[in-house]
């Protein structure tokens, strides 16, 4: 892995920590309700990498295979609203 800011490979891996609440920091998927996220549903672990060269901090989300399949289907040009409606009629 390279630093996205300077291109250096001198990255140190770590974790984000929450010193106020004692819990771990995580990434919450936008389409998950707050109630589900309270119980840990829809949150993903976050890893952090600090660059020794430029001090940039990079964050990496540990997506599951199901997450990748689900969200990759939206890559690229999206059909318009009318195209979606017409496709449902067929």
The string of pLDDT tens digits covering residues 40-83 is 677 788 888 999 999 999 999 888 888 888 777 766 676 677 77
The string of pLDDT tens digits covering residues 18-28 is 666 666 666 67
pLDDT (0 to 100) of residue 8: 95
Triad 48, 15, 63: Cα angle to 5°: 65
This prediction has a pTM of 0.59
In this predicted structure, the answer to whether residue 37 has a pLDDT above a threshold of 80 is: no
Q: List the domain boundaries for the chain.
A: 11-63
Cα separation values, 17 from 13, 23, 57, 70, Å: 13, 7, 14, 28
């Amino acid at each position: 892995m390279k630093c996205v800011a300077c291109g250096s490979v001198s990255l140190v891996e770590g974790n984000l920590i929450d010193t106020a609440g004692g819990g771990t920091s995580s990434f919450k998927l936008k389409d998950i309700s707050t109630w589900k996220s309270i119980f840990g549903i829809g949150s993903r672990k976050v890893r952090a990498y600090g660059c020794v060269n430029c001090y940039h901090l990079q964050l990496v989300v540990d997506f599951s295979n199901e997450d990748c399949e689900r969200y990759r289907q939206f890559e690229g040009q999206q059909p318009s609203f009318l195209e979606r409606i017409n496709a449902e009629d067929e």
